[in-house]
Amino acid sequence: MGFGDKLKDLRKQAQEAVAENSEKIHTALDAAAVAANEKTGGKHAQRIVKFGEKASGAVDKFGAGEGEPASEPAQPSAEAAPGPEPTVPAGEPEAPTAPPSAGPPPPSPSPAANPDLAAWAAGDDSAANQ
């Protein structure tokens, strides 16, 4: 068994694991979206909803075995090219980096804090298209 065959086998195992655990993965994505929205104070709710939808679709697609790799590696797009580091707009303080806490993680926030996220968590796509 060559290296390529081993990679194909690993990909198959990963797809099976994603398919078996897709509900848990979707629940984790929902929780991450709610947490991100609360951390940003609802400032980026629509972006968070759109990212959540894309991530959820990617999980479904990968778990279904779609999206087989191309025979040739994809060429990087202009968007993927490294650029300058993002800067903080004038007047906004940089976010401090806190050391990891030793305590348990905080409880998951409720999607009711933001109507867009609540609609997304419920599976209503109309909120993201506004």
Task: List the structure tokens of 104.
Answer: 């348990």
- For the chain, percent of residues with pLDDT exceeding 90: 46
86-110 pLDDT, tens digit each = 454 555 555 555 555 555 555 555 5
- Residue 75 predicted with pLDDT over 50: no
Residue 65 banded pLDDT, cuts 50, 70, 90: confident
7-22 pLDDT, tens digit each = 999 999 999 999 999 9
Q: What is the pLDDT of residue 24?
A: 95
The SS3 of residue 127 is helix
**Cβ neighbours, 10 Å, residue 79:** 6
CA distance 120 to 30: 8
- Residue 48 predicted with pLDDT over 70: yes
CB 120 within 8 A of CB 49: yes
Helix (H) or strand (E) holding 38: helix 22-39
Residue 76 banded pLDDT, cuts 50, 70, 90: very low
